[in-house]
Amino acid sequence: MENIKERGLTPQEAADLIGCSAYTVKELARGNRIPFYRVGSRYLFTRAALMDWIADQEKKNYRKEDK
CA neighbor of 14 nearest in space, from 40, 51, 41, 39? 51
pLDDT tier, 2 (very low <50, low <70, confident <90, very high otherwise)? very low
**pLDDT average, residue stretch 60-65:** 66
pLDDT tier, 1 (very low <50, low <70, confident <90, very high otherwise)? very low
User: What are the pLDDT digits (tens) for 12-25?
Assistant: 999 999 999 999 99
What pLDDT is recorded for position 33?
Answer: 97
Identity of residue 57: Q
State whether the Cα torsion 48-51-53-55 is positive or negative.
negative
Contact 18, 59 (CB under 8 A): no
Degrees to nearest 5, angle at CA 33 with 19 and 46: 60
User: What are the pLDDT digits (tens) for 34-59?
Assistant: 999 999 999 999 999 999 999 999 88
In this predicted model, which residue has the larger pLDDT, 65 or 29?
29
Which segments of the chain does DSSP mark as H helices, in order?
11-18, 22-30, 47-61
